[in-house]
A and B are shown apart, each in its own frame.
Chain A
Amino acid sequence: MLRTLRRHSSLAIILSIGLVSGSLVWVLHGPEAFRRALGVAWGVFLTVLPALLAGLLLAGSLKQLIPPGALAKWMGAESGARGLLVATLCGMAMPGGPMAAFPLVLVLAQAGADRGALIAFIVAWALNGFQRVLVWEVPLLGADFALLRFLCGLPLSVIAGAVARRIPVAWVPPGTPEPRA
């Protein structure tokens, strides 16, 4: 039950907001504005679709080519700044949504990646994932804005990972029998 709800929470939230805002548009601005908004949405859909399909094929193929376990040994607690950079690159290369990324984070954690690398990975994935930038940001916002935004986000994952290594809050990955030294 909870799992079903979680899996479809995005869709449910989006549909609810869409229904409420759509009704408001119809009531406040009239059916003409409602149809105009739907027309805008259709136009964006047609613009985005080819890139979306290509991006998903890329993601599906990469997932077969790169075994997740092969990445973990580069990202342990002793890996230093290099580990954060590797984690950043992996995060940026990681395609797919949170349903794919967070389970992979757990796999990396149990395979020995430390919290700094994990957080660098998450931030890099969320902020600068190649797939997201190429499929959504460049087509919708234009290459110049996307490049500016990308450059501003580039250092953040390493900063977050370095800060996370210094935060004195104990954490062990779920499913680990005892704390690692």
Chain B
Amino acid sequence: MSIGQAILLVLALGAFGLALRRGVPTAQRALRETGQTILRVLPLLVAALPMAAFLAELIPADLAAGWLGPESGLAGIAIASLAGGFIPGGPFVSFPLVLTFIKAGAGGPQMVALITGWAILGFHRVIAWEWPVLGGRFILIRLLASGLLPILAGVLAQWLLPLFPHALVRP
């Protein structure tokens, strides 16, 4: 178990302890909520992990290294920002994909832009969830306000990368 996982476990047990102090019904609701989420998330995960692994097997390593490599600069950051918007699904899809890109030689700032583009643009999530709940005008305002931010994140990462020499090294 890594340090991050240990911290998370402590936080989870702490929060559950607080819920328990509010009374047994509160704790029961928390457990029921947790169980429902597990039932919802687990099928997604079981479907998404093989998908990410298959895609990684299919995507030629030199594609990621070339178009999104450390030498691709601002153009690579822009391509990655837009491409991120087309990654479907949640973190169970995007992060395994990014991991395979990094192993294939993609650049750090480009991967920061890819994740940011996925999170902010995420067209699949916008169509499936944001549009039905909040409406088209809201999406227009939000995309006008945040559409270019993935590129900004990539540029910031380019500046900060020298401070993180181990960012692209897997433990």
- A residues at B contact (CB < 8 Å): 6, 9-11, 13-15, 17-18, 21-22, 24-25, 28-29, 33-34, 36-38, 40-42, 44-45, 48, 50-65, 96-99, 102-103, 105-106, 109, 115, 118-119, 122-123, 126-127, 132, 134-145, 147-149, 151-153, 155-156, 159-161, 163-164, 167, 169-171, 173-174
B11 located at the interface, meaning its Cβ lies under 8 Å from any Cβ of chain A in the complex: yes
Count CB-based A-B contacts (< 8 Å).
286
**With contact pairs A24-B58, A51-B5, A54-B8 given, residues A98 and B129 touching in the complex (Cβ less than 8 Å):** yes
B76 located at the interface, meaning its Cβ lies under 8 Å from any Cβ of chain A in the complex: no
Chain B residues near A9: list those with CB within 8 A.
124, 128
Q: At the interface, is chain A mostly helix, strand, loop or mixed?
A: helix
Chain B residues near A21: list those with CB within 8 A.
51, 54-55, 57-58
B65 located at the interface, meaning its Cβ lies under 8 Å from any Cβ of chain A in the complex: no
Chain B residues near A123: list those with CB within 8 A.
119-120, 142, 146, 149
Tell whether, in the assembled complex, residue B50 and residue A171 are in contact, meaning their CB atoms are under 8 Å apart.
no
B83 located at the interface, meaning its Cβ lies under 8 Å from any Cβ of chain A in the complex: no
Chain A residues near B1: list those with CB within 8 A.
50
CA distance A144 to B92 in the complex (A): 19
Tell whether, in the assembled complex, residue A138 and residue B53 are in contact, meaning their CB atoms are under 8 Å apart.
no
Tell whether, in the assembled complex, residue A156 and residue B145 are in contact, meaning their CB atoms are under 8 Å apart.
no
Q: Kindly provide the distance from the CB of B25 to the nearest chain A CB, expressed in whole angstroms.
A: 9
Chain A residues near B166: list those with CB within 8 A.
142, 144
Whose C-beta in chain B lies nearest to the C-beta of A128?
Answer: B119
Q: Kindly provide the distance from the CB of A56 to the nearest chain B CB, expressed in whole angstroms.
A: 5
Whose C-beta in chain A lies nearest to the C-beta of B28?
Answer: A64
Tell whether, in the assembled complex, residue A148 and residue B18 are in contact, meaning their CB atoms are under 8 Å apart.
no
Chain A residues near B9: list those with CB within 8 A.
50, 54
- Contact partner of B49 (CB less than 8 A), chosen from A41, A106, A163, is A41
